[in-house]
C-alpha cells in the first residue's frame, strides 16, 4: 500500500536491510534510511540520515517527523557485553524514547529467535512463552520486547516485535529449515505492523511457511500473514550444507543452535525448560 507518511528504517545498510529495502521501497516510497554508514545504491526516493544509536541527539534527529519506525538497527550477532549493551540496550532505549518524544505512532522492532533459543527443538512454542535467551544478544532482544511492551502500554505506541529466524534467499542448513524466512515474507510482516488497525503490542515469529517449523505463528496469521516462502523447497541444499558442518552436541538440541553451545558450561539436562 503506497503511503505518504514518513517511515524511518534503521539498520538500512545491514544484511536484512539490504535484502528488504528494494521491496519496502516499492510499497513505501519516500523511506528515510538510517545507519552508521550510508547504504549502497540509494534510490532517488530514499533519504539517508546517519545516526549512531548510542547518541540520543542523533537518534532524535533521525526520527524527527516520522509517523512510524522500522527498527532493525543494532549489533546483529553475539558479542562482548559492552558491545551488546551500547548498541542493543542503550541504543534500543534511545530509539523508543526518541520515537515517543517525536510522536511516532508505530514501531516495528527486530527481535530474534535467540530470545527463545533455549527451548528444545522437539517443543513447538507460541509467541506468549517465557523468554529463554541463549546469549547476551538474545538477552538484548528480550529487553527490546519488554521495552516495546512498556511503550505500548504506557504511551499508546503500536509496537510489533518480530522474532526473526534467518532471512535469506534459502535456508543455509537443517536448523534453518525450521526458522527460515524469505525477504518477501518479512516485508509482509513489517507491512502488518505498519498498517493493521488492531496492532497494540504484538510478537510475531519471523518465519516462512516451514513444514519443519517449531513456532506457532497463529497470531500473525490472524492479522493477515500469508507466507509464500516454503523452506521445504530448499531441503536438499540445506542438508548438503549441514553435512559440511557436522554435529553440535549442545546446539543440535536447542532452537538457538550454536548460540546455545557457545560458552556453554552447563549439563544439557539442566538447560532449557
Just list the catalytic residues.
137
**CA–centroid distance for 248 within its chain:** 25
106: which 3 cell numbers? 508505530
DSSP 126-172: -TTSPP--SSHHHHHHHHHHHHHHHHHHHH--EEEEEEE-EESSS--
Distance CA 14, CA 12 (A): 6
Kindly compute the dihedral angle of the four CA atoms of residues 69, 81, 165, 52, in this order, to the nearest 10 degrees. 30
Amino acid at each position: 500500500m503506497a503511503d505518504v507518511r514518513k517511515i524511518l528504517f534503521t539498520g538500512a545498510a545491514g544484511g536484512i536491510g539490504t535484502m528488504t529495502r528494494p521491496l519496502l521501497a516499492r510499497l513505501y516510497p519516500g523511506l528515510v534510511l538510517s545507519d552508521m554508514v550510508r547504504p549502497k545504491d540509494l534510490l532517488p526516493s530514499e533519504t539517508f540520515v546517519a545516526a549512531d544509536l548510542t547518541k540520543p541527539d542523533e537518534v532524535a534527529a533521525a526520527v524527527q517527523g516520522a509517523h512510524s519506525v522500522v527498527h532493525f538497527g543494532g549489533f546483529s550477532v553475539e558479542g562482548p557485553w559492552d558491545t551488546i549493551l551500547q548498541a542493543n540496550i542503550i541504543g534500543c532505549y534511545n530509539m523508543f524514547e526518541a520515537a515517543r518524544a517525536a510522536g511516532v505512532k508505530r514501531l516495528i522492532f527486530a527481535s530474534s529467535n535467540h530470545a527463545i533459543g533455549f527451548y528444545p527443538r522437539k517443543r513447538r512454542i507460541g509467541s506468549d512463552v517465557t523468554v529463554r535467551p541463549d546469549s547476551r544478544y538474545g538477552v538484548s532482544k528480550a529487553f527490546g520486547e519488554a521495552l516495546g511492551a512498556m511503550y505500548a502500554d504506557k504511551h499508546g505506541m503500536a509496537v510489533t516485535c518480530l522474532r526473526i529466524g534467518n532471512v535469506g534467499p534459502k535456508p543455509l542448513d537443517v536448523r534453518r529449515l525450521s526458522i527460515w524466512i524469505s525477504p518477501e515474507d518479512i516485508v509482509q510482516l513489517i507491512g502488518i505492523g505498519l498498517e493493521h488497525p488492531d496492532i497494540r503490542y504484538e510478537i510475531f515469529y519471523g518465519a516462512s511457511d516451514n513444514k519443519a517449523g517449531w513456532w506457532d505463528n497463529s497470531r500473525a496469521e490472524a492479522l493477515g500473514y500469508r507466507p509464500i516462502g516454503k523452506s521445504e523447497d530448499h531441503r536438499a541444499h540445506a542438508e548438503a550444507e549441514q553435512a559440511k558442518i557436522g554435529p553440535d552436541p549442545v546446539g543440535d538440541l536447542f532452537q538457538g543452535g550454536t548460540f546455545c553451545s557457545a560458552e556453554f558450561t552447563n549439563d544439557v539436562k539442566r538447560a532449557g525448560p
